[in-house]
A and B are shown apart, each in its own frame.
Chain A
Amino acid sequence: MNTPLVSLVEAGISYGQLDALKSMTMSLNEGEVLGLFGHNGAGKTTMMKLILGVISPTSGKVEVMGMAPDSKEAWHSRRKVGYLPENVSFYDQLTGLEVLTYFTKLKGFTNKGAKKQAMDLLEQVGITYAMKRQVKTYSKGMRQRLGLAQAFIGEPKLLLLDEPTVGLDPIATRDFYKTVDQLKSNGSSIILCSHVLPGVEQHIDRAMILSTGKLLAMGTLSELRKQAALPVVIKPISFKEGGLNSLMAQDEKLNAYLSNTCQHTLMVPEQDKLTVLKQLLSLEGLDDIHVESANLEQVYQHFLSMHELEKHEVDKYALTYQRTAQQIKGGLD
């Protein structure tokens, strides 16, 4: 039985009246990649700071590698943690190599080892050509690569990346995910927080959706899909005139699933997918089928709108309650 690398037990943070994070329980295993999603101010960065030990929980417990990350004992395990903050800008006056060598030394490398490690990392993120240039001449993407190189120092066991692909071009993004997959196969755990939802899903094992400091949903993508009960979109394609719409409408097994808004499209619950597909295959004139499960973005939208709805309901109740109370009071007067 292996213990989780990171575990939060009802951990919460509040600044006075404001709850930045409400009793959060989660765990991250070795070699697992967790996606952290939520709009601005949802508590993603706060949660990362909590795991990094920069801030202490006001309630509950946080453990990283078996220790509280804000304690003195956790000191040495910090070498094995990599972090990429959001919007970091490095020392403009220094060159890329100098910046990275500085951080590598702080991670505990000796002078000689630090330079070698820094060079290797710069090569890995592809900015070797600019390493002798001052950071102030770097573009946004190059700065982001430098930040990533900094997070990768010393083959971390735990990586926390805040918006890692911001400012990266498609090729750099692909290279980045390649590195993520590679680190994962080496046993590193990664928490990845991103606004850019397409492209992330193949690389994460589990997703966590936050809103206003609250956990809305957590699980593997298929679990979340099931939980959200979003339909699978199936588009049968026929090259013949008129398509298959009338045929499908006549078929009693299929017409229930026909979309009202979109022609030639079936919206099918996950569990009925195969039955529908079998039925479709028996249709004459079928040339091709597109099957599309709900993607991360749709799942994310679903959970957020559910949350909004809930909040709205509560507000509505509160309002009705207030009105009733006023009416009663008015009646009494």
Chain B
Amino acid sequence: MSQVATIAWVKLRMGVHAVASVRNESRLKVAVISISAIGLWLFVFGVFFEGFGWLARFGGTAGDFALTIGDVIMARMLSVLTLAVFFMLIFSNVLVAFSTLYRSREVAYLVQSPMSYRTLFVARFAECIVFSSWALAYLGSPMILAYGLVNGAGPAFYVASAAFYPPFVLLPAATGSLLTLVLARIFPRLRPKTLALLAAVVLGLFFVYVRIKLSADRLSEENFLPVLLDASAQTQSPFLPSFWTSRGILAAATGNLGECLFQFLLLLSNALMATWMAIEVASRLFYPGWSFLQGQDRKRLRPLGKGILGRLDSLLHRLPNPTRVLVIKDIKLFWRDPTQWSQFVIFFGIMAVYIANLRNARMYTENDFWRNWVACLNIGACTLILATLTSRFVFPLVSLEGRRFWVLGLAPISFRRIVWQKFWLSVATTSTFTVGLVVLSGIMLKLNSIYFILSVYSVCITNFGLAGLAVGLGTLYPNFHEENPARIVSGMGGTLNFVLSVAYVAVVVGAQTLVLNWRVLGLFQNPAAFWWALGGVLVLVTVVSGLGMIVPMRLGLRNLNNMEF
């Protein structure tokens, strides 16, 4: 057996053991996650099927095209999506390749083995591809199926889609790995300030581009189609692999197999070329880069009393111990982990984009119907952002104690205190951002008092419910073997927490939306009936939030108390 085949066999066995270990998981957890996974796939399929179906019903033709407007928009949408996915794949491959090639402990073992760096890279590269591209197969397949069904495509379309998939994921994987190999030689030599400046410039340019190209003002003008075609014109460049993919698949849908084959071979040859280049570069750059990173001078000083983190002790002096040291420890661990705060910064970006685009929604606040919908959607957006925050950052808090739990397990403090400390820390931090967000968005949307109060109340109460869910389920289903918070979140417990968080938000927002809509539609016989219904909904929301907080916290604590370390 070759060395690559041996490593592939080991990975396969590890995969088999991981699947087999599902038998040890709670049946409820497995059932909820399996149903959720199928449900999400069906939901994505439904959205694309309805969306493509709606576009297909567009009448008329677009200018000189022999196609309907719907066909043109659909084709452009496919191109835009393919391009976006292509760049996301490159980005995720850069991240995955860095952790797989340079951070993984497995690499140290492989480097000392009698294996060429070329072989080592090929083995790790295969893992990168699997890690970075499985989600595309899962979420891309319902889109392709929906497109095929709406357009009545023949079997050639589905065969072509499956055939395009391997080279389409291979090319960004090779490109991402190439970038990582080069960056790993350059970045460690740069000063932190230079890196921060570079990141700020890239982010700034990105926001300027988004502002210019994807402005809702432009898309809401009457000349919608030309604006859309103009905005998506860059996706039609014949130099883009995403264009070869979308064009090839669309050609297969219309039975133009010659065009499809040409685009496929174009994509395949480029993917193979990029892979060969990545292997060649790896054989020269991997080891010097890895060795340099291992041999860096690590004297990162963090003196007490210097900087904000160093002064936390005095800033939080009113908190009694051991709560104070637990809070300080959690804050420091969070801010000193780049994988944590870098993703937190992305959340800020999303919130900023959301706030910046709210002014475009003001045109919909002229009449009651739209005002009501915008207000309800705003509550939905704020609570969903909160659900994402708690799912990503709060859920892993207990798991991140990991193999260090002995420190807490030995201390003369109860687990109850530790778990509730994490709950209150979560409420304190997430409510700062989300209450601010809902107040700011309410002011920008000029919501009247009833909507404003409801929005703020919903976000406040869901802070407690979602924190309880995340901390409780994080304690009920901890993963003490994983150090990477992103992987903890993507596990079964994390998925269950996210699904339940979204379901909880749906109940909170859905109940309010229902009552407010009935009022706008005049379905209440008198104002008193509306107020009674609204009061009932608020009681329901409060009770559901209370249950969402208490039940998982109790179950989690019971689990932790029965746990052995």
Answer yes or no: do A and B interact: no
Residues of A participating in the B interface, judged by any CB pair closer than 8 Å: none
